[in-house]
Amino acid sequence: MLNTNKKTIFITGAASGIGLAAAYHFYRMGYMVGMADVNISLLEEVTTQWHNNNFRLYSVDVSDFLQVTTAVTAFCAEHNNKLSVLLNNAGILEIGAFQDISNEQHQQTLKVNVIGVVNVSQAAFPFLKNNSQSTIINMSSASSDYGVPELASYSASKFAVKALTEALELEWRKFGISVCDVMPPFVATNMVNLQKKSAKVMDRLGVNLTAEEVVAVIDKQVKSPKTHRTVSLFYCALHSLSNVSPALINRLVMKFLSRK
């Protein structure tokens, strides 16, 4: 049955962490929420107590364009082929020395974190365009400001997401699509907490942010999109400094934070 009145949001990586917190936030706000994750059983488990029919669950590997297209199309078909908001949240992380991480894992990080964003954005484009005004929010990271030792592939992937955000913000504004990102430092979610190793930068800066604090900034991006939004006052100050300081200064700061 079509429901053309509700605002809609499609969220990847929605079974845990920031994705789940965002899904619950917008679910409570009355949005129709499409929740996609590679782990469908976990999606079903975490939504057991959700009492209305304002959500749909999809088993999706974001690196598989056919799976992505099928899920996004099915969700939007219920809403006059329109989509209000896309949250590209799915991401993976492997911490460790670059040479100690398998080539397969490096490639998987780039597939999920970069190709995944490309796939979902491309699949969602017709439905975002059909809406009079729509928004894409990409999850970038503080690690997109300067390459982070022991998070090299992850950091590189977030540089790519940041660049894609900036390009599409200019390309797609003519279609009424606002493209923006959210840039948190380290967040206390399972993606970080279940890592076998820690990075020196993380040990020094700490993992202090909650998923709900990130969702508060995501909500700001929905209401008033800005190309880049940081999370936390401390990182906001560092990010502002990185925008005005020479690359050499950024390198020295990262070298200091990642020292033995």
Burial class (CB in 10 A: 0-12, 13-18, 19+), 2: exposed
Distance separating alpha carbons of residues 207 and 230, to the nearest angstrom:
15
Amino acid, single-letter form, for residue 243: N
Catalytic site residue from 24, 27, 154, 235: 154
Whether 206 and 186 have beta carbons less than 8 Å apart is answered as: yes
Indicate if 58 belongs to the active site: no
Tokens of 165: 């955000």
Question: What distance in Å separates the CA atoms of residue 139 and residue 22, rounded to the nearest whole number?
Answer: 12
| Strand 32-37 relative to strand 55-59, pairing | parallel
Residues 6+ apart with CB under 8 A from 177: 125, 128, 129, 134, 135, 136, 168
Active-site amino acid positions: 154
